[in-house]
Each structure stands twice: as structure tokens, then as C-alpha cells.
Amino acid sequence: MTLADLQLLAAAVLLFVPLERLLPLHRDQTAARPGLGVDLLHLFASGFLIRTGATAITVVLSIGAASIVPDEVRELVRGQPVWAQFIELLLLSDLCFYIAHRTVHAVPSLWRFHAVHHSSKQLDWLATYRVHPLDQIFNSAVIALPAIALGFAPLALLIYAFLYRWHSMLLHSNIKIELGLLGWLVATPRFHHWHHANEPKAFNKNFGGQLSIWDRLFRSAYDEDSLPTDYGSDGVPE
């Protein structure tokens, strides 16, 4: 674990732990929940493997993209304002996330790895890190495709990476945040908790990462004002 990872971890503890106590989704859930040790093990043990694998795949994809995507396209993309690049990157990367996420749920050989992430019986911000390295490397590679192929500006990439990392922790957190009509666009913790529900009515639903629009467009959204009562990985691909 790098110094930057430790700094992120410290900041996450200072932010999410108090909020999960002040604004809990599940009021009876404690900080010392079942599975906490497993998530800490994933946090400290899997990071190096994931970074190494994702870096190697990124290099391969970059070489391939350089020979396929014309330089004129990359220059056109970089010639836009950073805010426009960020919006395009967010939409394209989240669509890729949605496709990758549906794929690992639909293909049994991939689900075996992704099921590790769904094995948590209670969710909080730390459950974000319960992932199988191969599953996370595959996911990272697919998400990175638009950035690698189109050559977005470094600042746009930095903003997106910052949003992705913090929003991922928020989605798994035990924090009650409702966005009203904006929730039709942006995924919330409650929306993602239903994705982790071990309840047949919610199996294979709510695949979106930062955005919920892809689930609504492709009819995989599940909305309910209540919360799941059971979490886990019994739900297999159909």
C-alpha cells in the first residue's frame, strides 16, 4: 500500500465513519460489523495485484489504441474545454462500466470472481474493497477504454478518477442520501444496495456505477423506498 493509499484511507475513515453514524441507512448496523476483517484483508492485500494487472493491460490497450484511433480524433477531443471532456468521459466510462458489470453477472465463469464482491452480508464504505483481483482488473480495463482510445486531457482524467473512487465508497456506504429527481441520473447508496440484495426481485438489477441512467434506459433498474433485508451472493446469473 502506497503513501497515497494510506492518505486516502485516513481521509475515508474521517469522512465516512462519522456520516455512517449520523445518517445511517441501517440504524442497527455497527461499525464492527461481520466481515470487517475480510474487507480489511482485501484492502491491504489486493491493491498491489490490482494496480500491477491494470497497469499492464493499460499499456497493451494504449499500444493498440494508438494504431487504431487517428491522431485527428484525439486532437479533436483534447481541443474541447475540460468540462466537456469530463462529461463525455463520465458518460462513456460509466457506459463501459455498465456493460462490463452486466457481463460479469451474465457469464458464469466471470461471476465466480465477481461473486466475491457480493459476498458481504452487510455493506459500508469499506465493503467497496472486497473484490477479486482478476474481477477488478477486468473491470478497470473496460472502464479505461474511452480514456485510452480517445486521449482525454490529464485534468479531465484526474477529475473522473477522483469522482469514481469516492463515489464508489459512497455507493457501498451505510449512509442515507436521497437526491430526489437527480436520483434518476446519479446512483445513490440505496440504489446500489439493492444491487447487492440477496433477494430474487433485485437479482441482476442496478448495474450502473456513477450513473443510474443506463439501468433506466436498458430496463435493469430496480427502485424501492425500503432497503434490502438480506445481502449476499446467492443470486447467480440467469
- Per-residue pLDDT tens for 85-109? 999 999 999 999 999 999 999 999 9
pLDDT digit string (tens) for 178-205? Answer: 888 888 899 999 999 999 999 999 999 9
13 in a structural domain? no
Say whether 27 sits in a helix, a strand or coil.
coil
Q: Is residue 84 part of a domain?
A: yes
One-letter amino acid identity for 152?
F
Confirm whether 5 is domain-assigned.
no
Residue 237 has pLDDT above 50, yes or no: no
Which one has a higher pLDDT value, 6 or 137? 137
* pLDDT value at residue 3: 67
Grid cell for residue 106: 451474465
Residue 68's pLDDT is: 80
Query: Could you report the per-residue pLDDT of 199-226, keeping only the tens digit for each?
Result: 999 999 999 999 999 999 999 999 888 8
Q: Comparing C-alpha atoms, which of 207, 223, 224 is closest to residue 106? A: 207
Q: Is residue 19 part of a domain?
A: no
User: pLDDT confidence of 110, banded at 50, 70, 90?
Assistant: very high
Give the orientation angle of helix 154-172 with respect to helix 3-22, to 10 degrees. 40
Structural domains in the chain (count): 1
Whether the predicted pLDDT of 234 surpasses 80? no
Distance of CA 181 to the CA centre of its chain: 22
Q: pTM for the full model? A: 0.89
Instruction: Using the predicted structure, report yes or no on whether residue 44 has a pLDDT greater than 70.
Output: yes
* 143 within a domain of the structure (yes/no): yes
Cα dihedral across residues 181, 174, 170, 15: positive or negative: positive
Answer yes or no: is pLDDT of 175 > 70. Answer: yes
Q: Is 21 a domain residue?
A: no
Which residue carries 456520516 as its cell? 19
Domain assignment present for residue 152? The answer is: yes
What integer pLDDT is reported at residue 238 of this predicted model? 46
Q: What spatial distance separates the first Cα and last Cα of the chain, rounded to whole Å?
A: 37
Give CA angle at 32 (34, 27), nearest 5°.
90
For residue 179, what are the domain limits?
Answer: 38-217
Q: Is residue 83, in this structure, part of any structural domain at all?
A: yes
Give the number of other Cβ atoms within 10 Å of residue 23's Cβ.
13
